[in-house]
Amino acid sequence: MLQHFKLIHRSHSGKVRPHEHTSYLPLAVILLVIGFFLTSITATAWERPGPASGSIGLSGEVPAAPPTVAATIKVPANGQRFNQTPITVSGTCPTSTLVELFKNDIFAGSTACSDAGTYSLEIDLLIGANTLVARVYDSLNQPGPDSNVVVVYYDALPTQASALAPLVFGGEQLIVNTDAVFRGAFPNKEMTIPIDILGGRAPYAVNVQWGDSTNKVVSRPDNASFRTEHTYAKAGTYQLSIQATDADGRVAFLTVASIVNGQPDPAPTSTGSTENKNTLLLLWPLYAATFAVVVSFWMGEWREKRLLIKHGVLAA
């Protein structure tokens, strides 16, 4: 069997060349580094960016004290009388709050306080006396103190009602209402709002202006509550105006703030994720093959060395 082994001599010395000449230790270090790098890349590629379907994601805001400064109503003046509606209500407010107006304890509309600490809002009036109160809310929907009270009067035109006619929800006056404010919507996510129609005479036409240069007209055969949907493209605070008209031409008006939060973390694109995974599916087999080749060479050399020692060609 020994005749199959051939010794290679160095031309400059004539000595037998050492059998172990492959640098396995550096190769092992390189393979370990590459393996660690591939493992890290694989973990990142398959990491879930957020809650999976059926799981629950939680978010919140740090609690803070509610507003301590009240809004004020400067316009209209106390005791002022009107024969048309809607009217404009304006005053001061703490910045970074939402102002909600109430008439006779009925929600009348909402708007965001400006950076200058002022607000202005058009509201519909009820026939007769209207006790107006403004209330501010912070980002956690915590209310602040009530504003000064202003009482105004709506003397309806004879074609709509007598000057001192009481409010009858099933009779002459037409009223439109909805939730005080819409919070928590996100861009490109559908937002649904409920709308209530009170009084007037069917059928009704409801025009919803979303505040982003779009509107939607909804026909209603009766005054049953209904819902309508909209999707905002960008985050921000929008003034959502709702106007309802009945069969006799009566008009009701309501303006509310629509708050669209900032865009949540976008989900990874399917193209990028697929490309990363396809690349890894190619690199891992190549790495495994390289690892197997190095181990095979090392085992073969180790076996050959043992045979040479066994037959006395190499010293142990």
CA–CA distances in Å: residue 1 to residues 39, 181, 183, 241: 45, 93, 87, 99
Beta bridge partners of 259: 237
Q: What is the pLDDT of residue 265?
A: 44
212 is a domain residue: yes
Q: Which of 161, 179, 196 is the last residue of a domain?
A: 161
Are 216 and 191 part of one and the same domain? Answer: yes
> 92: how many CB neighbours lie within 10 A of its CB?
19
227 is a domain residue: yes
Q: Which of 117, 132, 161 is the last residue of a domain?
A: 161
235 is a domain residue: yes
Tokens of 292: 């197997």
The CA distance from 100 to 142, in Å, is 12
85 is a domain residue: yes
Supply the DSSP string of 26-78, one letter for each residue.
HHHHHHHHHHHHHHHHHHHHT--SSPPTT----------PPP-SPP---BS-T
Q: What is the pLDDT of residue 15?
A: 47
Residue 135 main-chain phi, psi, to 5 deg: -135, 135
What length does the chain have?
316
Q: Contact, 181 vs 107, CB < 8 A?
A: no
Q: Which residue from 146, 149, 165, 147 is spatially nearest to 157, judged by alpha carbons? A: 165
The CA distance from 277 to 41, in Å, is 10
Are 183 and 210 part of one and the same domain? Answer: yes
Are 220 and 248 part of one and the same domain? Answer: yes
43 is a domain residue: no
Q: What is the pLDDT of residue 264?
A: 46
Are 136 and 192 part of one and the same domain? Answer: no
Are 183 and 201 part of one and the same domain? Answer: yes
Supply the DSSP string of 201-236, one letter for each residue.
-SSEEEEEE-SSS-EEEEEESS---EEEEEE-SS-E
Q: Which residues contact 111 (CB under 8 A, 6 or more apart)?
A: 98, 99, 119, 120, 121, 239, 255, 257
Which amino acid belongs to residue 297? Answer: F
Are 149 and 176 part of one and the same domain? Answer: no
47 is a domain residue: no
The CA distance from 165 to 148, in Å, is 27
Q: What is the pLDDT of residue 16?
A: 47
Domain residue limits at 218: 170-264
Residue 167 main-chain phi, psi, to 5 deg: -75, 125
Are 219 and 178 part of one and the same domain? Answer: yes
Q: What is the pLDDT of residue 100?
A: 94
Q: How many independent structural domains does the chain possess?
A: 2
pLDDT (tens digit, 0 to 9) for every residue of the chain, 316 residues total? 555 555 555 554 444 455 455 566 777 777 777 777 777 777 776 655 555 555 555 555 566 789 999 999 999 999 999 998 899 999 999 999 999 999 999 899 999 999 999 999 999 999 999 999 999 999 888 999 999 999 999 997 654 444 444 444 445 788 899 875 666 678 998 888 899 998 899 999 999 999 999 999 999 999 889 999 999 999 888 999 999 999 999 999 899 998 888 754 454 455 555 666 667 667 777 777 777 777 777 777 777 777 777 766 666 6
Per-residue three-class SS string for 264-306: CCCCCCHHHHHHHHHHHHHHHHHHHHHHHHHHHHHHHHHHHHH
Q: Which residues contact 115 (CB under 8 A, 6 or more apart)?
A: 95
83 is a domain residue: yes
Which strand (E) or helix (H) includes residue 307? helix 270-310
Are 196 and 257 part of one and the same domain? Answer: yes
Q: What is the pLDDT of residue 159?
A: 44
Q: Domain with 137 in it: what CATH number?
A: 2.60.40.10
Q: What is the pLDDT of residue 241?
A: 92
Are 230 and 196 part of one and the same domain? Answer: yes
The CA distance from 214 to 245, in Å, is 19
Q: What is the pLDDT of residue 46?
A: 62
Are 134 and 106 part of one and the same domain? Answer: yes
4 is a domain residue: no
Are 94 and 142 part of one and the same domain? Answer: yes
Q: Which of 244, 264, 284 is the last residue of a domain?
A: 264
Are 145 and 198 part of one and the same domain? Answer: no
Q: What is the pLDDT of residue 21?
A: 53
